[in-house]
Structures are given as structure tokens and as C-alpha cells.
Amino acid sequence: MVKMSVLNDALKNIVNAEKAGKRQVLLRPVSKVVVKFLRVMQKHGYINEYEVIDDKRNGKIIVDLNGRLNKCGVISPRFDLALRNFEKTIYQILPSRQFGFVVLTTNQGIMDHE
């Protein structure tokens, strides 16, 4: 069976582990997008540390959780976003101005909305 969205599966595993009160979660398989997304989450303080384990197959990631994450997910299917509509789209997605982050995948890499 082929996984359709590796990032969506990884984020659901993280959120479910947070709700269950776990301190660590194991993510499989590894992808560059997941690693870069975890780097953004670590920069904003939603996770502590993560370790990428290369087992010569698909790899694994062990993420240390700190309990600050409420909800995260993937907007699927991906859609194009014009720069002039960017602020309006951010206000539609986030619950308030001081709460949350939107992480975008662009041809320049993964970045947040700040």
C-alpha cells in the first residue's frame, strides 16, 4: 500500500501522541518535507528535539514532545496562492491574529507566514 501524504500521516501521529500525553513519538517513513517541517516546529517551540534514524530502508524519526501543540494538519489538496491574496487566506485559516502559524511549501523551500 502506498502512503498518499507522508506529511499528513506524520502530523496526525504527532497530534495523537500529544493528546495521549506521550513524551516521544516515532514517525515513519522519513521525507525531506517532514524533516524541514519539524525544523520549523522546533524553531517556534512546539517540539523539543528530533532525531533522524537511517535504517537503510525508509528511515525513522523520533520526536521529543513538550506538550505545547494543540492542533496541526495539512490542507489537502494543495492549491496555488497568489501573493496579493496571501493575507486574506491567512486570516481565513488561523483562528486569531496572535494564535498559530501557517507553514507554506514553496519552490524556495518551506517557510512560515512571518
12-66 pLDDT per residue, tens? 999 999 999 999 999 999 999 999 999 999 999 999 999 999 998 889 999 999 9
Q: What is the pTM of this model?
A: 0.86
Cα-based distances in Å from 50 to 23, 56, 74: 12, 18, 20
Span 83-96, average pLDDT? 84
The answer to whether 29 and 59 have CB atoms below 8 angstroms apart is yes
Closest CA to 6 of 69, 62, 76, 108: 76
Mean residue pLDDT across the chain: 89
Alpha helices in 1-113 (DSSP H): 6-20, 32-43, 86-93
Grid cell 505545547 is found at: 68
